[in-house]
Structure 1
Amino acid sequence: MPSFDLTKEPWLPVICLDGRLEEVSLTSLFHRAHEIRHVIGQTPPMTAALHRLVLALACRVYQPLDSNSWTELWRNERLPTQQLDDYLLKHPGRFDVFDKQRPFFQCPAVATVAASSAAKLVPYRSTGNNTTLFDHTTSRDEIMLAPAEAARWLVTLQAYDPGGLKSPYTKEKSSQAAPANWFGMVLVEGSNLKETLLLNLMPYDPDGEQPRNTFPKDRPVWEADPPAPEPDKRHPLGWTDLLTWPSRRVWLAHRQVGDQTVVDRVVITPGTRLEAAPEDNEWMAAYRRPEVRKGQKSAAAAGWYPIRLRDLRGVWRHSRELFLAPELSEERRRQRPATLDHVARMVGRKVISDDAVYTLRVFGQQLDSKSTVVHQVLEEAVAAPVALLKAAHQVAGRIIGHSIELADQVGSALNQMEREYRAELHGSPAAPSLELAYWPSLAVPFDRFLWDLAKALEADQSPTKATREWADDVRRIAEDAAKRWAESSPRQGRNLEVAGACYGRFVGLLGHHVNAYHGFIARYVA
């Protein structure tokens, strides 16, 4: 029988600190984590899924029961190797993709179902009625995946496969979209992979039910027996169970081509449906409650909504939800990733420096309204000065909130200018949407604003300089977008007259919003 053991064979794509791109085994990844910059997948969902898998393994190997044991790991130059080696000895063969009895992340019982092309594993491949824009694969093309590539897509599929109809084992065809589709996965990234793993590795103690809703029976998928072939539904046993959730029953069919083993066919059937509220179980996501509406008793009545990536507007607009603790005076309306609560505790204990700045990488996948087709995959990043994670800076939330509101109001004013122009000319064509010229340009200035705000608050200084520079950046970017829009309008007759009038009203509204912003900020810096 062929073998492809993920603990021994290179399959994880990484970028080293010197810039080299390599593929490494799971064992090498942990042994060399201090020399690796980060894991990088072929797509953002693959990058996210591989990190979740590696994090689940780190939880089981190191099991930092409390802040003291985590601190010891953090202060070591490299991750301990003996604990990893001991763990793998206790679970031999559990990471072999082609093991006959326990193939990694698979269900050998579904091997009796008619297999499809291996293209089913790869989202951008066109198979059957699942057409894609750029792929030109036809039903006659034979897709053969190397074991390393098949393993990467297998892990990605379990985390990000869309819902809809799948090949049934017996009768059940319907499947729930895999869990990671419903939120933007937040990864705290350090200067190397060792730091990144630990920054996302909260204290893990199933017997002590840490993190919350993790119980003594918690285990990752490779420690469990292969699942029954029929789909089921249940609550997660804990954090590593959720990180390796078996959303599909899969079988990788392989054969020999010369001296190489290839995966050319695959069986994918419905798997385990998740019966749990994300905000009570998923700790690498941020959540918010909407504003309390008239007639509602509390924000709690509106429920939680996970922060998700949107095209153009940028994840930085959710900075309050992403890394600020709830303000003591307000009803709980936001919940940052629990991993950042852990980082904040380490800052409070002086294990992590107050002036450290990490990166929050956020990964997401957008599905259609029926959750069956992938519309787009997204990855964004926002700077996270750890000084803002501390609960002591309650004013930070209000300042950041008004700063984001300024960007929203100015963006709305730009859209209003364009709508008025179209309305007055009865639908006459105008320049392309202003959103593309405005929103993406704000990401870098907002990162700088957060960093300047953190430095000012940490030094007990006025944040006025940071807020004024942010307002200037918003004004400049909006004015540039509006000027280009006005100049691109037809330079004749009524078109030019209407464009000038709409532009003039926008400039007045822009000044009003900026002045109002400075007035709001003055309340907190007096």
Structure 2
Amino acid sequence: MPGFDLVSRPWLPAQLSDGTAAKLSLNEVFTRAADIRRLVGDLPTQEFALMRLLLAILHDAVDGPEDIDAWQELSESPQPLAAVGPYLDRHRERFDLLHPAQPFMQVAGLRTQKDEVASLNRLVADVPNGDPFFTMRQPGVETLSFAEAARWLVHAHAFDTSGIKSGAVGDPRVKGGKGYPQGVGWAGNLGGVFAEGDSLQQTLLLNLVASDASGFTVDKDDRPAWRRDQCGPHMQDDLTSRPTGPRDLYTWQSRRIRLHHDDRAVHGVVLCYGDPLPVHNSHQREPMSGWRRSIPQEKKLKEPRVYMPRGHDPARSAWRSLDALLTSRTEEQTTQGTEPARYLRAGVLKWIAELTHERLLPRDLLIRPRLIGAVYGTQQSVIDEVVDDSIALSVVLLHERDPKHAQAAISAVEDSTKAVRALGDLAADLARTAGRPTEAPSDTARDLGFGLLDGPYRKWIVTLDGSHDPLAARTAWQRTTYRIIRNAASDLLAADADATGWLDSAKSERVFHARLSKALPLRHHTPPDAATPGEQAHPIKETVR
């Protein structure tokens, strides 16, 4: 049976810098990384899983980087990814998707007691379980090309659902031929975060966290899956001493999988549980997620400090969750006292802050933190939603030792929230006066308010590049917010007047203006710099495309 060599065969969809699309091999992705804009997965979660695969390869190819000096030397070299080509050649055999004994990220000979082979719907995450509407694969997946199967294989290890699965012969955990719930794939637990640059090469370097980075722990023997013994159907024997670091985590074998194929395509799969991994307190090993302190888990586990991944809320845009990306005032205050921090931001962003502090990145460099994650439902047995959002911002906002710009950005989000709340309260007051239920009008008005502020905030935040006074920038944002929310309120009042008359809404209007003025007190402030950032006449720096 012919093989499918992922090193030389095209299987990774990419968007090139000129906007065109291409399907590339692993070798081509690293060779052409400076001319590639980004990978393009079948789902955003697939892009996240593939990005982690590329990072694991790069970490292993350069054996580190060990420290910030090694990272600087690598980033300043003419060909920073040059070590990857020879590395892939050395390990080419383990990157064969169809290898008879060591297939890539699979278990050769994996089988169930009855030799059942499941539909590829088990592997492909964009096929709704029991609901084939709004999918191009109706009613299911009959075959996959080898390239597409390889992408979904990587995705399954990262984001596969929980629930009852096939029981593999040779796995002592199997009962009655079934594998009972063990949780989702490792990345499915995370509120995934990575920093996106102008090119794939810049993206890989920005997220290549050094082994000695602050708050990060990497063992000397950290290795990816293809440099470990081939998995069998049972759990691996050395899990008590793992994960060893990012190379191990980025390629964690959370499932045991075998693709069934002929010489043309994949037509079935055996998918079983693999290596479990406790979620709590993995923040020193896992840099691509934010973390939150969990007091209930501290009581349950009887540990003094427990951090869990901080997932993404599908109802909140990235800019409204900015405190999860930047150093918040709450985090600074609690870390200086006896209480542990309530939240920890993602290690990749702390690493970029360290690079900025050491002046290895220009303070006005624009990056785009990408927020990607899966939201599971029904006992984690299905994926309900996929979160994918981003926001362009200057790296100066990540600077831990100079937090005033980050505080201005976070405070501006709080200003926006208060102003939108005033708009929602106005809608509720108008509904109450008319004798209607208040909840739906209030929610609709708040959604409208945040929607109207979304684009302007994203344009405003790129002006926080360290070249202007952050107080002046926040003042400009409060003025912008006041104008937008006041205009939205005028529309609500006009619509209400048509239905009930102006006199009924006059009191509600007075109360609204008082609330809005209280929410945005800086709008009357006169900034010392006439060229206030964020005003309409202020030029907007070109953001990361």
Superposition pairs for residues 202-217 of structure 1, below 5 Å? 202-204=209-211, 212-217=216-221
What residue is the counterpart of 1:446 in the other structure?
A: 457
CA distance in 1, matches of 2:285, 2:196: 21
1:276-295 alignment, distance < 5 Å: 276-277=279-280, 278-289=282-293
Relative to structure 2, which stretch is displaced further, 401-410 or 143-152?
401-410
8 Å CA contact 1:312–1:439 kept in 2: the answer is no
Q: CA separation of 1:142/1:15 partners in 2, compared to 1, >3 Å: closer, same or farther?
A: closer
Could you give the per-residue CA deviations for residues 437-458 of structure 1, whole angstroms, max 9, x where no partner exists? 22233333333433333324xx
Partner Cα separation in structure 2 for residue 201 and residue 14 of structure 1: 20
Other-structure match for 1:505? 511
Supply the distance in 2 between the matched residues of 1:339 and 1:415 (Cα, whole angstroms).
Answer: 36
Give me the identity figure in percent.
Answer: 27
How far does residue 501 in structure 1 lie from its aligned partner after superposition? 4.5
**Deviation (angstroms), 1:264:** 1.0
Aligned AA for 1:391?
Answer: E
Deviation, 1:31, is: 0.9
- After superposition, the Cα gap between the structure-2 partners of 1:211 and 1:410, relative to the gap in structure 1 and judged at 3 Å, is closer
**Paired AA for residue 125 in structure 1:** V
Does the CA contact (< 8 Å) of 1:288 and 1:321 recur in 2? no
Which whole-Å CA distance do the structure 2 matches of 1:183 and 1:279 have between them? Answer: 11
2:122 aligned residue: 120
In the alignment, which of 373, 395, 398 is matched to residue 364 of structure 1? Answer: 373
3-state DSSP of counterpart to 2:262? strand
How far apart in 2 are the matches of 1:426 and 1:345?
54
In the TM superposition, residue 150 of structure 1 has moved relative to its aligned partner by 0.7
Shift in alpha-carbon separation, 1:492–1:189, aligned structure 2, 3 A: closer
Of residues 346, 353, 367, the one that matches 2:355 is: 346
Once the two structures are TM-superposed, the CA of residue 484 in structure 1 deviates from its matched residue by: 3.5
CA drift of 1:422 comes to 4.1
Distance 1:307-1:132 versus aligned 2 partners, 3 A rule: farther
Mark the runs of 5 or more structure 1 residues left unpaired by the alignment: none
Provide, for residues 292-323 of structure 1, a one-character-per-residue CA deviation record: whole Å limited to 9, x for no partner.
9xxx9xxx978545443323431222323313
Q: Which amino acid aligns with 2:127?
A: R
- Letter paired with 1:507: H
**Which one of 184, 189, 204 corresponds to residue 191 of structure 2?**
184
Match of 2:319 in 1: 316
SS at the partner of 2:392?
A: strand
Per-residue CA shift, 1:172-204, capped at 9, x if unaligned?
A: 222311122233211111211111100000124
In structure 2, the residue matched to 1:160 is 159
Aligned position for 1:334 = 343
Between the aligned partners of 2:524 and 2:62, the Cα distance in structure 1 is 49
State the 1:114 CA deviation.
0.9
Match of 1:236 in 2: 243
State the Cα deviation string for residues 375-431 of structure 1 (Å, max 9, x = none).
Answer: 211211112312222233233344333322212222322333333444441428859
- For 2:151 and 2:7, the matched residues in 1 are separated by 13
* SS of the residue 2:416 aligns to: helix
- C-alpha distance in 2, partners of 1:490/1:184? 44
Q: Deviations over 1:143-170 (max 9, x none)?
A: 1110001111111111111222222224
User: What residue in structure 2 maps to residue 407 of structure 1?
Assistant: 416
RMSD (Å) for aligned C-alpha atoms: 3.1
Query: How has the CA–CA distance of structure 1 residues 478 and 132 changed in structure 2, closer, same or farther, with 3 Å as cutoff?
Result: farther
Asked if the contact 1:30–1:79 (Cα under 8 Å) also holds between the matched residues in 2, the reply is no
Call closer, same or farther: CA 1:85–1:430 in 2, change over 3 Å.
closer
Whether 1:355 aligns to 2:359 is no
For residues 484-503 of structure 1, the aligned pairs below 5 Å read 484-489=491-496, 491-493=498-500, 501-503=507-509
- Partner of 2:325, secondary structure, is helix
The superposition leaves residues 112-133 of structure 1 with CA deviations (integer Å, 9 ceiling, x where unpaired) of 4411111222122245xx3244
Q: Distance in 2 between matches of 1:358 and 1:138?
A: 38
Give distance in 2, aligned partners of 1:36 and 1:110: 37
What residue identity is the alignment partner of 1:441? L
CA distance in 2 between counterparts of 1:134 and 1:158 reads 25
Match of 1:471 in 2: 478
Asked whether the 8 Å contact 1:126–1:138 carries over to 2, the reply is no
- Counterpart residue number, 2:266: 263
3-state SS of 1:308 partner: coil
- Which region of structure 1 is more displaced relative to structure 2, 230-239 or 155-164? 230-239
After superposition, the C-alpha distances for 1:503-525 in whole angstroms (9 at most, x for unaligned) are 44323211111117879x99xxx
Superimposed CA distance per residue, residues 60-94 of structure 1 (whole angstroms, 9 cap, x where no aligned partner): 0012222222112211233343x223322432311
> Are the equivalent residues in 1 in contact too, given 2:192–2:373 (CA < 8 A)?
yes
Aligned partner letter, 1:515 = P
Distance 1:265 1:84 in 2: 32
Aligned counterpart in structure 1 of residue 201 of structure 2, from 171, 177, 194? 194
**Would you say 1:373 and 2:374 are equivalent positions?**
no
Contact 1:15 1:38 in 2 (8 A): yes
Contact 2:194 2:288 in 1 (8 A): yes
Taking structure 1 as reference, are residues 183 and 498 closer, same or farther at Cα in structure 2, changes over 3 Å only? farther
What SS does the corresponding residue of 1:250 show, helix, strand or coil?
strand
> SS at the partner of 1:28?
helix
Which AA in structure 2 matches 1:283?
Answer: P
> Cα distance 1:367–1:419, how it changes in 2: closer, same or farther (>3 A)?
farther
Amino acid at match of 1:184: G
Contact 2:290/2:309 (<8 A) preserved: yes
The reply on whether 1:52 has 2:52 as its aligned counterpart is yes
Provide closer, same or farther for how the CA distance between residues 464 and 516 of structure 1 changes in structure 2, counting only shifts above 3 A: closer
Structure 2 distance, partners of 1:163, 1:420, is: 45
Instruction: Confirm or deny: 8 A CA contact 1:159 1:247 kept in the other structure.
Output: yes
Give 2:437's match in structure 1, choosing from 402, 414, 427. Answer: 427
**Could you say which residue in structure 2 is the equivalent of 1:388?**
397
Residue in 2 aligned with 1:224?
Answer: 228
Amino acid at match of 1:349: E
CA contact (8 A) 1:325 1:336 kept: no
In structure 2, what is the Cα distance between the partners aligned to 1:173 and 1:252? Answer: 21
Cα distance, 1:33 vs structure 2: 0.8
Offset at 1:266? Answer: 1.0
Uncovered stretches (5+) of structure 2, i.e. residues with no partner: 169-173, 336-340, 529-545
Maintained 8 Å contact 1:96/1:103? yes
Residue in 2 aligned with 1:483? 490
Name the structure 2 match of 1:144: 143
Q: SS of the residue aligned with 1:94?
A: helix
Q: Partners of 2:81 and 2:202 in 1: how far apart?
A: 13
The 10-residue stretch of structure 1 (91-100 or 479-488) with the greater mean CA deviation from structure 2: 479-488
1:250 aligns with 2:251: no
Aligned length: 498
Cα distance in 2 between the residues matched to 1:209 and 1:358: 20
**8 Å CA contact 1:236, 1:276 repeated in 2:** no
Going from structure 1 to structure 2, the CA distance change for 1:454 and 1:230 (only over 3 Å counts) comes to same
